[in-house]
Amino acid sequence: MKKIGIVGAGLMGSGIAQKAAQEGLEVVMVDVKPEFVEKGMNIIKSTLQEAVDRKILTSDNFTEIMGRIHGTTNMTDVRDCDIVIEAVPEDMKIKHGVFKQLDTICDHKTIIASNTSTFRVDALAEPVNRKDRFLALHYFYHPAKNRLLEIIPGSKTTKETINAAKRYSVLTGKTDILVKDAPGFAVNRFFVPVNNESTRMLAEGVANSATIEKAGRDALGIAMGPFEIVNLTGVPMALHASAGLGLGLTPFYDPSERLKEQASSGKLWPIEGEIQEDKLEAIKDRFRAVVFYIISAMLDEGVSSIDDIDLGAKVGLRWAKGPFELMNDYGIDKAYAIVEKFIKSWPDLTMPKSLIAQKKLGKPWEFRFVKYYKDGNIGRVVISRPDAMNALNHAVVNQLDEAFKEAEADKDTKAIILETTGKAFVAGADIKFFIDCIKEDKLEANYDFTAFGQEVLNRIDDSKKLVVAKMDGLALGGGFELALSTDVIVATNKAVMGFPETGIGIYPGLGGTQRPSRFIGKEMAKYLVFTGRVISAEEANAIGLVDYVFTPDEIDSKIESMIKEGKLAAKKGKKTEELPAEWQKIKALFADENISALLSGKYQTSNDPLEAKTAKTLAAKAPIALRMVNDIMDKGYKMSLKDGLKEELAHLYEIFRTKDALTGLTSVGKKPQFEGK
């Protein structure tokens, strides 16, 4: 997956091209006339220039990115692309023309994708011979900024094509959800009717527009209400989207008369009137009923999963909570009651079976953050909580345990790959939980969580199967510790890792004080844990903490072929003379005899730049955490790993009771001032 083609250099095409080029892919962008190509290139240039002005990119980045985009009117330029995405106007005839041409021009390997918002994938694929390598990739405006990507296979699309699309999504920094080929796909299916319902309520005189707007915001926990959103994206667009849904679904989804009137008036929605407080609750329930009905019906129809629907709302629409999460908060029984009442006005709607079943179950919806699946003779355990950078919380650790046990019990698998979705590997543990534990004086809950986490990681460590961590992004604290509990760490050159704990008043509790020193020696392990320095995959490989480093587009095939050939083996640890010079010095500096001087700050005035810099870094860390972790690492190093891990657990209450722990944990975005208390 190195080169991609975009057909149509308009609003969407140019954004898709920009994002792919930004992430390092080679891009060919085609349009029918040179002026359209130029227009697309200019859209990209101005978006990138904005990023340069805001110091998100440098002018060198700008030049590099533009250098990867080849604008052309010659369709044959896309022939050797790995994937070609069509983003021409929403007109079946035009799209069919493009697909026919692409099917003839492109290499056998090329996957053809459509960014359609309303057509069915099978209908789009009609003139194409390679229906197995055809699917829809639905982007959201602005495609270079909005991270959501809906992957929609047609009935003939193969699993290999879906996997390739997922790989493309990861390579271009997207969060993808898998959706069945159904009207509105996943997100628009529940989002568009929210706006439509607001116009119905207005027409019925339920309340003034300002009240409906506020009720929409409050019910769904969103920053902009339904009218404001439509004013931003365009009233005709809202009408078009509703009409599309209505055509494919039932009359409930049809655009309201009020929406049609507003669209033909050419005016925006007026958001006016005093808030009518007494009407808010009923309106909120009506919005909830619409969303809860639709998402449950989507489950019945197999449109998408609970997890993906929620992810779609959070990533694509920036809702603070997904709709199923909102339903859990509201209560399943109450949700059932408002849906039951709501559907009475619509003869075309019936109570969704999934909601009936959930009510019977008497439990909230359960999210699956960790899944196990078999891929030939490889077992894959996949953590997927990309909106929270896959942070480890109770649910994730519990499900990791279940998924891992399932993987281990699978007799046919040779190896287990532990992988995650989204841009981060695992960004650490859920800090909010720690803060709540401290504030609510429930340190035992924190202890239990950590002890159970250690148990799960030990199970991974002790597994008789080969366990491989595929680290393709940020791995901090618990995430790094999780990877270190596997047999082999294979990273992409985009992975970075570190132990930030002493900078937030605590110390690593999932083996971070024990496993690294067994791989790379106590000195360098102390350096990493004390300073919190974030190192790249290449650096980690050079010191012997990461076993292999590959580029993102080759990592999967490399892992698979090495497992097949039995060549994937741990190579952790290095002899001192094999270490890069900088690390040899670090190793010497962190020798036992220097530690107390280092911790006392004595080296801050040293003439040696490494000594002075390191001492200054340590001076900004929590002093109690540093001293404690030093002792734990010293003691644990002389013990068996299991006893060392117990030693790590033994001081949890002590560290979490310090004032500095709360100061550090609540310091996100600012530099904490530790008091040594």
DSSP state of 576: G
Which are the contacts of 547, defined by CB distance < 8 A and separation ≥ 6? 488, 489, 490, 541, 569, 570, 571, 572
Residue 221 falls in which region: left (phi positive, over 0), alpha (psi -120 to 50) or beta? left
In angstroms, what is the minimal distance from the CB of 30 to ligand NAD? 5
User: Nearest distance from residue 447's CB to ligand NAD, in Å?
Assistant: 48
Of 546, 509, 502, which Cα lies nearest the Cα of 526? 502
Query: What do you get for the CA distance between the two ends of the chain, in Å?
Result: 53
Cα–Cα–Cα angle for 217, 220, 221, rounded to 5 degrees: 70
Nearer to ligand NAD, 9 or 615 (CB): 9
> Which contacts qualify for 221-227: CB closer than 8 Å, 24 or more apart?
221/319, 221/320, 221/321, 221/326, 222/317, 222/318, 222/319, 222/320, 223/318, 225/198, 225/271, 226/194, 226/195, 226/197, 226/198, 227/195, 227/198, 227/269, 227/271
Nearer to ligand NAD, 238 or 466 (CB): 238
**Pick the catalytic residue: 501, 523, 611, 647?**
501
Q: Which is nearer to ligand NAD, 106 or 632 (CB)?
A: 106
Phi, psi of 607 (to 5 degrees): -80, -15
State in angstroms the smallest separation of the CB of 232 from ligand NAD. Answer: 11
Q: What span, in angstroms and rounded, lies between the C-alpha atoms of 648 and 629?
A: 8
| Three-state secondary structure call for residue 550 | strand
Query: Given the complex with ligand NAD, which of 22 and 117 has the nearer CB atom?
Result: 117
What minimum distance in Å lies between the beta carbon of 653 and ligand NAD? 52
Q: Which is nearer to ligand NAD, 113 or 568 (CB)?
A: 113
- When CB distances to ligand NAD are compared, the closest residue is 10
Element (H, E) at 240: helix 235-248
Between residues 29 and 545, which has the closer beta carbon with respect to ligand NAD? Answer: 29
Residue closer to ligand NAD, measured from CB, 312 or 428: 312
CB-nearer residue toward ligand NAD: 105 or 210: 105
Q: How far is the CB of 95 from ligand NAD (least distance, A)?
A: 7
Q: Of 91 and 333, which CB lies nearer to ligand NAD in the complex structure?
A: 91
Smallest gap from Cβ 195 to ligand NAD, in A, equals: 15
| Number of Cβ within a 10 Å radius of residue 155 | 11
Least distance (Å) between residue 104 CB and ligand NAD = 14
- Of the pair 67, 97, the CB lying nearest ligand NAD is at 97
Pairing of strands 466-471, 415-420: parallel
- In the chain, what is the greatest distance between 2 CA atoms, to the nearest angstrom? 82
Per-residue b or e along 33-49, where b marks 16 or more CB atoms closer than 10 Å to that residue's CB: eeebbebbbebbbebbe
In whole angstroms, how close is the CB of 181 to ligand NAD at the nearest point? 15
- The Cα–Cα gap between 676 and 55 comes to 36
Least distance CB 13 / ligand NAD (angstroms): 5
Q: What is the layout of strands, in order, in the sheet containing 26-30?
A: 69-72, 26-30, 3-7, 83-86, 111-114, 134-139, 148-153, 175-178
Catalytic option among 86, 481, 539, 647? 481
Minimum CB distance to ligand NAD smaller for 88 or for 542: 88
Helices 11-22 and 34-53, interaxial angle, to 10°? 50
Which residues, 6 or more positions from 388, have their beta carbon under 8 angstroms from its beta carbon?
A: 427, 430
Q: Are 9 and 41 in contact (CB under 8 A)?
A: yes
Give the CA angle between residues 192, 340, 300 to the nearest 5°.
Answer: 60
User: Considering the complex, what minimum distance in angstroms separates the CB of residue 176 from ligand NAD?
Assistant: 15
- Using CA atoms, how far apart are residues 323 and 313, in angstroms rounded to an integer? 7
Smallest separation, CB 449 to ligand NAD (Å)? 41
Residues 6+ apart with CB under 8 A from 534: 476, 496, 497, 498, 500
Q: Is the bond leading into 651 cis (omega within 30 degrees of zero)?
A: no
Q: How far is the CB of 175 from ligand NAD (least distance, A)?
A: 16
Catalytic (active site) residue 501: yes
Q: Which is nearer to ligand NAD, 11 or 178 (CB)?
A: 11
In whole angstroms, what is the distance from residue 508 CA to residue 662 CA? 15
- Closer of 36 and 62 to ligand NAD (Cβ): 36
Q: How many helices (H) and strands (E) does the chain have?
A: 31, 17
Angle between helices 209-220 and 226-233 (to 10 degrees): 100
Per CB under 6 A, residues contacting ligand NAD are 7-13, 30-32, 36, 87-90, 94, 97-98, 115-117, 139, 141
Measured from the CB of residue 41, what is the shortest distance to ligand NAD in angstroms? 11
Helix (H) or strand (E) holding 608: none
Cβ distance 482 to 510 under 8 Å?
yes
In 421-525, the DSSP E strands lie at 466-471, 474-476, 488-492, 496-498
- Phi, psi angle pair for 432, to nearest 5°: -60, -35
Known active-site residue 481: yes
Catalytic residues: 481, 501
